[in-house]
Amino acid sequence: MELLYKNRSFSSCIMAAYNLLMNNFKGLVRCMWLPALLFSLFCAALVTLNVPNDKILAYGLEHPAVFIGGNVVLMLAVIGTSLWMLARLMSFLNEKTRKWNFARVTIVFLNMLAVSLVFGAIVFVLMRLMFMSGDAESHFTTKMAVMVLVSFVMVMLTLPLVYVNMKYLNEDNVSYWKSFIANYKTGAKYIGMIFITLLLTAIISLLVTSVIQLPFYVLMMALGTSQFGVLYGDPAGLPASFPLLVFFTLLIVMLVSCILTVFEMLVMYFLYGSIEQKQRERQEVSKVFEATVATT
């Protein structure tokens, strides 16, 4: 296992995450295979259920309650298995019980959901005020600039939460809300490091994801081409087994994507450890300085 509490640069955090993933790949698979498999199954089923298909559409129109209920159940299953998967990962990292980690991961999820809803409401209100009332076309460029600026500010405000959440997921004596202000301030001190690290991680993830999801993109292009032809009177050229093809393609894609999710979590894990070590070193330097001043 890589040493967690170590003063690392942003590139070292990414490299440490990669090394831990590669060196402990078998252990991570043994720990996470079941929730990852179920998560992938439910994701594939949810997306397949909502991919345009005549038979599925006809059934949904005949039984709307069943169709909507199926979507809700699958979404809850996706959320539940994703939390279970992350709890398994944290148990592998911090060696605490799975029950303890599942409770903490759930609390973090609920808090991040609340933050997302608040920020989403703010964006919705701004869009409504600027683009859906009065003369929406006037000062369009200025309005878009304001929206970009507001979105950027919101992103920057959420960055310290990486440290807040990871500290809560790793330490027993931390209460999320009682320690929130102090931990948020600490995270805010290193907002530049967090931003650069997550930006590079996002770029890596985007490049890998574009390759991983290429088979699904090809299927969606084929579906779009078929539907476009149907609009002009051509027969649908897709086989009857197309939904099954989408399902199994997504199943494989999501399983591979789970590995990418683990990598992203590991980056945040080492980012937290680096910030903790930097804080300890700052405190030690401060103590030495105060002792030196006291003796002079």
184: left (phi over 0), alpha (psi -120 to 50) or beta: alpha
**So what's the pLDDT on residue 63?**
79
Average pLDDT score over residue span 192-216: 92
- Residue spans per domain, the chain: 10-287
Q: Is the distance from CB of 275 to CB of 6 less than 8 angstroms?
A: no
pLDDT in tens, 21-73: 999 999 999 999 999 999 999 999 999 888 877 777 777 778 788 889 989 99
**So what's the pLDDT on residue 163?**
95
Angle between helix 242-295 and 180-189 (nearest 10):
90
pLDDT in tens, 229-267: 766 666 666 777 888 888 999 999 999 999 999 999 999
Angle between helix 10-23 and 191-212 (nearest 10):
50
Whole-prediction pTM: 0.88
Average pLDDT score over residue span 186-193: 94
**pLDDT > 70: percent of the chain:** 91
pLDDT in tens, 70-91: 899 999 999 999 999 999 999 9
